[in-house]
Amino acid sequence: VEENKMIVPENFEEMLSTLPKEKSWGAGGCFYKYQGFWYSSVWLLGTIWAQQCFKARDTDFLLASSPKSGTTWMKALMIAIVNRKHHGSLSSSSHPLLIKNPHNCVPFLEVRDQEHMIGSNPITYLDSLPAASPRLLSTHIPYSSLPKSVLAGRIVYIARNPKDVFVSFWKFSEQFASKNNQKLQKSPSISMEEAFELFCNGVSTNGPFWDHVLGYWKASMERPDEVLFVKYEDMKRDTMHHVKKLAEFIGHPFSSEEEREGVLQAVIELCSFENLSNLEVNKSGTFQVHVASQTGQNQLLVDNSAFFRRGEVGDSKNHLTPEMLERLDKITQEKLGTFGLEL
């Protein structure tokens, strides 16, 4: 595959300097506001790349989410559903989920990981995938900023209650910062209270959180056959129902025979928090994000284990004060209530 020439838009640094800027929490450096949403420079660069170069195919399935909403779980489920007939059995040692972290099975549009690199242009790898097989892809890009060609395609969105999203991100960012301290432009340390204030004001990775959710919610109302909107909490409460729905949506429905034989149950168990978090690859491996910059390639590292913390609904109660919880509930009600969406 010939590598596409564009690596970093020449004027990227210049462009950054013209964008509204905010103190970042979690991602290092600062957040930049682009098309109404906040990004770290790495994810912004990737987003612009994707907007310029990514060409969707009719057969693609895109998993979209705000970070920390259950992306890892959904990636695992999609892979397990699509691959359930190829690997003999779900517990076969060659099953991708037993060898790789779910993020190394389903690539992001906007950043490259160690499994999905060809050269330094992030799109080159995606273009190289065989045309015959449907691509499972993922993104944190807000609906309104998606590459144009994606807009006609099929999308699964996973949404989660913002109180748990905030806590999940805060915990993740502590881990991320300790692992990448030297590589990131050191951002001034920030307290959880300060991060909370920023989150409430919409300043978070790919935030405002509520606008992110709303973009996809509205799309799912307008195009229900193409955009499936799922809530993390519903997935936890009635996993079987929602996994069946997901399988139908991505064109791999479970037959009644498979259900009788326990295949649906096996997929759910394979992708459960308990199972995935105890796999060797997820206990000890590292997820590498490859970042192109004007000074060459750089790598950001995340322990695979950081994608599996508690996996429960309502853990925010153990970390936020009653006032904080109430404040987030109020914002959510104000922003989403009129659209008939509860989180």
Given the complex with ligand A3P, which of 226 and 315 has the nearer CB atom? 315
Length of the chain: 343
Return the biggest CA–CA distance within the chain. 60
Identify the active-site residue in 95, 103, 140, 242.
Answer: 140
| Least distance (Å) between residue 211 CB and ligand A3P | 18
Q: Which is nearer to ligand A3P, 51 or 71 (CB)?
A: 71
How many Cα atoms sit within 13 Å of 12 on the Cβ side?
Answer: 19
**Which of 8, 155 has the CB closer to ligand A3P?**
155
Residue 224 Cβ vs ligand A3P, minimum distance, rounded to whole Å: 23
Q: Judged by CB, which is closer to ligand A3P: 55, or 317?
A: 317
Is 87 a residue of the active site? no
| For ligand A3P, the closer CB: 96 or 311 | 311
What is the closest distance, in whole angstroms, from the C-beta atom of residue 277 to ligand A3P in the complex?
7
Q: Would you tell me which residues interact with ligand A3P (CB under 6 A)?
A: 65, 67-73, 76, 164, 168, 171, 271-273, 276, 307-311, 315
CA–CA gap between residue 212 and residue 143 (Å, rounded): 7
CA distance 270 to 97: 8
Smallest gap from Cβ 89 to ligand A3P, in A, equals: 20
Least separation in angstroms between CB 110 and ligand A3P = 15
Choose between 176 and 307: whose C-beta lies nearer to ligand A3P: 307
Nearer to ligand A3P, 47 or 65 (CB): 65
CB 26 within 8 A of CB 172: yes
CB of 62 to ligand A3P, least distance (A): 15
Strands across the sheet with 227-231, in order?
136-139, 61-65, 154-159, 227-231
User: Which three-class secondary structure string do you get for the chain?
Assistant: CCCCCCCCCCCHHHHHHHCCEEECCCCCCEEEEECCEEECHHHHHHHHHHHHHCCCCCCCEEEEECCCCCHHHHHHHHHHHHCCCCCCCCCCCCCHHHHCCHHHHCCECCCEECCCCCCCCHHHHHHHCCCCCCCEEEECCCHHHCCHHHCCCEEEEEECCHHHHHHHHHHHHHHHHHHHCCCCCCCCCCCHHHHHHHHHCCCCCCCCHHHHHHHHHHHHHHCCCCEEEEEHHHHHHCHHHHHHHHHHHCCCCCCHHHHHCCHHHHHHHHCCHHHHHHCHHHHHCEEEEEEEECCEEEEEEEEHHHHCCCCCCCHHHHCCCHHHHHHHHHHHHHHHHHHCCCC
Q: Rounded to the nearest whole angstrom, what is the least distance from the CB of residue 65 to ligand A3P in the complex? A: 6
Active site residue ranges:
140
